[in-house]
Structure 1
Amino acid sequence: MISKPSVITALACIVLLPGLTASGPLRAQTPNQWVVPAGFHVTVYADSVGNAREMALGPRGTVFVGSWIGKVYAIIDRNGDHKADRVVVIASGLDQPNGVAVHNGALYVATKSKILRFDNIEQRLDAPPAPVVVRDSNVCLPPPMTAAILRMKPDGSNLEVFAEGVRNTVGFDWHPKTRELWFTDNGRDMMGDDVPNDELNVAWKRGLHFGFPFCHQGDVPDPEFGAQRACSTTEPPVQKLGAHVAALGFTFYTGDMFPASYKNAAIIAEHGSWNRSVPSG
């Protein structure tokens, strides 16, 4: 068994204005329209970052941002005033480069079919290097490795399945104390306004199955595939997040700026619903 600490959702301090989406311009909220806990406020860190998705912070303070429109951005704050001085496109023409992570000075970018690595990226922002292809899923990933969380070494070797039954996860982090992997997962559509919930899950060991496509939110059998696997044989979420809220970004707060009650709390960024009769998230 694992402990299930209380989970809170909060608004991240950094706000990116995504600009245009595939369906047209967004009507961005101004900072004074955000509802935040007492003592918090929202300011714009950077704009002109089209279709921002995931973010990662480099050791020199550069914020790297993936997107849905083929671009990867580097956002630079030269004077430390918490406002971007420059936005650099370090890659373009990629296939949905949503995921970004920084490890040992290299930027890793997960596209729809590949994992790329940009070495020594913060020293080379004005002339980004050609990416190293760490893994090409069109060649290497067979169908059984879909709807899963995969684990590999930074060089792409020792690829293995860590968790299965995961429909659409974007944000994940390791708990600061237990080191267990926690992640958000977006539920399926076309089952009504209120079912199924998006999920916050914890993969406390390798080999767990989180239900998809047989079971949703831990207790709702799929109308088409539910007879093939019982919900009782799958790992339920530690928190139901609401139907169609599109829970994306996720992190555990380990800093010292927020009140003490936020320490090690889960912070989740929600995109919001696209087809619910009353929008949510």
Structure 2
Amino acid sequence: MRKHILIILAILIVIAGGVIFYLTRPDVAQVDFAAVTGAQPKLVQPRAQLLPTVKVADAIGWKDGQKPIAAAGLSVAPFVTGLDHPRWLYRLPNGDVLVAESNSPPRKGGGITGWVMGVLMGKAGAGVPSANRITLVRDSNGDGVAESKSTFMMGLNSPFGMALMGDWLYIGNTDALVRVPYKTGDTAITAKPELVVKLQGGGNHWARNVIADPDGKTLYVTVGSSSNIGENGMDREKYRANILQVYPDAKTFRVYAAGLRNPNGLAFEPHSKQLWTTVNERDMIGSDLAPDYMSQIELGDHFGWPWYYWGGYPDKRVEPTNPALQEYSKRPDYALGPHVAALGLAFAGDAKLGANFANGAFVGEHGSWNRSPVSGYKVVYIPFGANGFPAKGAKPVDVLTGFLNTAGDAQGRPVGVITDASGALLVADDVGNVIWRVTQAR
């Protein structure tokens, strides 16, 4: 009898071990990456895990003389070096460039999850304290290399997005939209920032981007979720996973679009004049899901988070369910691929990079942590048609690669992208601590 019991126990242990291995083993992509991009990505069944797949490139920086690899017909060179975690860029009317040198504010609590995220951020080069600074960079002689960089503003709280409207410069702190008076040519701001509206801070997704509406009356502000799928309760997600429309004169706001897990880049498409954003989708349902995306945004849109992704696919981990929302969840316009961490967004507009990059969107992909193999870690270009949407059948085109070396370490990680006054593309690299300048090869 005892022998039989031992045999049964052994079988149960083997079965339990197999179940644990199945639930905790790293998930590896099973679908060609390109198939999960475009207007009609291939979506597989989710593969939920007890523990997340963790694969993040170690941040090592660039050695002297090293640089990213530009696409055929383009060249790349440093515009300015020696920065402290540059995340976002903004071009002023006189051609000066503002650089938000910023990082996540200190994270409070978080238990084991918070500890794991801290370790991951350290490996990825994001564990350094935030400089909380905006730096002004100037290329006085127009040779494509900045001659000067100087402190423009200090005393901010994890600043990110910047936008001019009227006589004010608006700045997206992690917990507030603030503004300071500005006139063209100013090289430093000493005025105390004025509060416009408070924003929800804490948790995950700290970066707040801001863009001014061309009408000169309102602004749009991105506020990412505090969690992956609302696991800490939706009461903590009030006014988060949103794009807010702010009325600065009245110092009020409304929810413009919702259900966006972590919206980041904001830009107006030059032909349609419509607002677009890039969005980081959810984690821990497999290396093939869910695709990050870019999409046109309109008042009242809801993209489904946390209950649905890609226009109505249910995330069965989320409780309580919300079946009434399914048919109203907007499908994004363009998938950028799973876990690429799409952040920067700039339309070609006044870019002068040749015919192959004349009508479309540049996207800075910061790079994955929850996918095997890794994805992102590059700048891509999405060709657009004359209708203001991605061209039919268009796939992402690599613009800058080589941020990962042959060993898989991160020499750099791209974030914000803008065009400069000459039509070149500027790319903020927060691991390399450099702004790269991409031009048409001569």
Bin for the TM-score computed over the shorter chain:
0.7 to 0.9
Letter of the structure 1 residue corresponding to residue 342 of structure 2: A
Q: Distance in 2 between matches of 1:106 and 1:94?
A: 16
Give the counterpart letter for 1:211 in structure 2.
Answer: G
For the residues of structure 2 that align with 1:255 and 1:78, how far apart are their CA atoms? 20
* 2:334 is equivalent to residue 239 of structure 1: yes
Counterpart code for 2:82 = S
Tell me what 2:271 maps to. Answer: 177
Conserved? CA contact 1:166–1:212, under 8 Å: yes
C-alpha contact (below 8 Å) 2:266/2:276 kept by paired residues: yes
Classify the secondary structure of the residue corresponding to 1:232. helix
In structure 1, stretches of 5+ residues that fail to align are 1-5, 8-22
Deviates more, 1:162-171 or 1:114-123: 114-123
CA contact (8 A) 2:96 2:137 kept: yes
Alignment of 1:210 with 2:272, yes or no, is no
Q: Which residue of 2 aligns with 1:269?
A: 364
* Further displaced range: 87-96 or 172-181: 87-96
Aligned positions of 1:1-281 closer than 5 A: 26-28=60-62, 33-66=67-100, 67-68=102-103, 69=130, 70-120=132-182, 122-126=184-188, 128-137=190-199, 144-155=238-249, 157-203=251-297, 205-225=298-318, 227-229=321-323, 231-255=326-350, 257-281=352-376
Distance 1:232 1:48 in 2: 49
Higher mean Cα deviation, 26-35 or 119-128?
26-35
1: CA distance, partners of 2:252 / 2:269: 24
**Bigger Cα displacement from structure 2, 49-58 vs 151-160:** 151-160
Amino acid at match of 1:218: G
Structure with more of its chain in helix, by fraction: 2
The number of equivalent residue pairs is 259
Secondary structure in structure 1 of the residue aligned to 2:264: coil
What is the identity, as a one-letter code, of the residue corresponding to 1:187?
E
Helix, strand or coil: the match of 1:277?
coil
Q: 1:213 offset after TM fit, Å?
A: 0.7
The question of whether the paired residues in 2 share the 8 Å contact of 1:147 and 1:165 is answered with: yes
Change (3 A) 1:127 1:251: closer
- The answer (yes or no) to whether the contact 2:151–2:188 under 8 Å persists in 1 is no
Gaps of at least 5 residues in structure 2 are 1-37, 40-56, 104-129, 202-222, 224-234, 377-442
Alpha carbons of structure 1 residues 147 and 138: separation in structure 2 relative to 1, 3 Å: closer
State the Cα distance separating 1:237 from its structure 2 match: 1.1
SS in 2 for 1:42: strand
Using a 3 Å threshold, how does the CA distance of structure 1 residues 105 and 144 change in structure 2: closer, same or farther? same
1:187 and 1:35 map into 2 onto residues whose CA distance is 27
Query: Structure 1 residue 238: deviation in Å?
Result: 0.9
- Structure 2 contact 260–305 (Cα < 8 Å) conserved: yes
Distance 1:236 1:274, change over 3 A: same
Q: Which has the larger radius of gyration?
A: 2
- Structure of greater relative contact order (alpha carbons < 8 Å, 6+ residues apart): 2
Question: d(CA) in 1 for partners of 2:61 and 2:353?
Answer: 29
What SS class does the counterpart of residue 327 from structure 2 fall into? helix
The one-letter code of the counterpart of 1:238 is D
2:153–2:188 Cα contact (<8 Å) kept: no
> 1-side partners of 2:93 and 2:374: how far apart?
38
Letter in 1 for 2:240: T
Give the root-mean-square deviation of aligned CA atoms. Answer: 2.8
**TM-score normalized by structure 2?**
0.53
Instruction: Give, in whole Å, the separation in 2 of the partners of 1:41 and 1:154.
Output: 41
